[in-house]
Amino acid sequence: MSSPVIELRGVSRAYGDVTALRDAELTVGRGELLAVVGPSGSGKSTLLNIIGTLQRPSSGTVLIDGHDVSALTDRELSALRAQSIGFVFQQFHLAAGTPVLDNVADGLLYSGRSRAERRRLAEAALRRVGLGRRLLHRPHQLSGGEKQRTAIARAVLGDPPLLLADEPTGALDSASGENVMALLRELNAAGTTVLIITHDRDIAAGLPRAVHLKDGAIVRDERREALPA
């Protein structure tokens, strides 16, 4: 049996006298689709940063894709992020004035691949998310939903086993948000583990699993039968 893609054991994170995350226990198997849900200040961002190896915990054990984060140097952590984790944020973080194709291709800028190879892989990723006709458009020429799909294409460019989506529909209208959620479901169906950070209980209710945070603690871990898309 393969190891879980995420495993947290007694993980806490403190900032001075403030404990943002306390004694978190979480195991996420490969191929899962789940939400981490809670109000502002509940610890969602801290949990995301720890799972994404952007921060180290104050205490506890974090294993990502089978790697113990505490045993890795900063350089090794950067390599783990590049190989194993794709990030999607509420704000799209696209370079203005740069064609969509190169916005995505630049996600592999430090991979050692040639520019032609990076662009070939970027084109394939953009076609995968339905943007094959927008390759040379600039970000200002895209709708909000298309910008988010571009960001998702960049996140899955290296085919990471884990995709972390932080409020991916927060800056979108409802129709665009539904399209982005449908895309995340498709990526999950193809084998990617997808974890969505959200304050939207409706989004959480529509997923097979929802982990609820309150005041820095995991207070409920709901699993449901397979839900229709």
Kindly give the pairing relationship between strand 162-166 and strand 85-88.
Answer: parallel
97 residue type, one letter: G
pLDDT at 111: 77
Range 100-111 burial, b when 16+ CB lie within 10 A, else e: bbbbbbbbbeee
For residue range 8-65, list pLDDT tens digits in order: 999 999 999 999 999 999 999 999 999 999 999 999 999 999 999 999 999 999 999 9
pLDDT average per 10 residues of sequence, the chain (229 residues): 88 95 97 95 95 96 96 93 91 94 90 90 94 96 95 92 94 91 94 95 94 96 71
- How much is the pTM? 0.92
Q: In the chain, what's the furthest Cα-to-Cα distance?
A: 52
Any idea where the domains of the chain sit in the sequence?
6-93+145-219
Looking at the domain 6-93+145-219, which fold is it?
A: Rossmann fold (3.40.50)
* Integer Cα distance of 167 and 216 in angstroms: 18
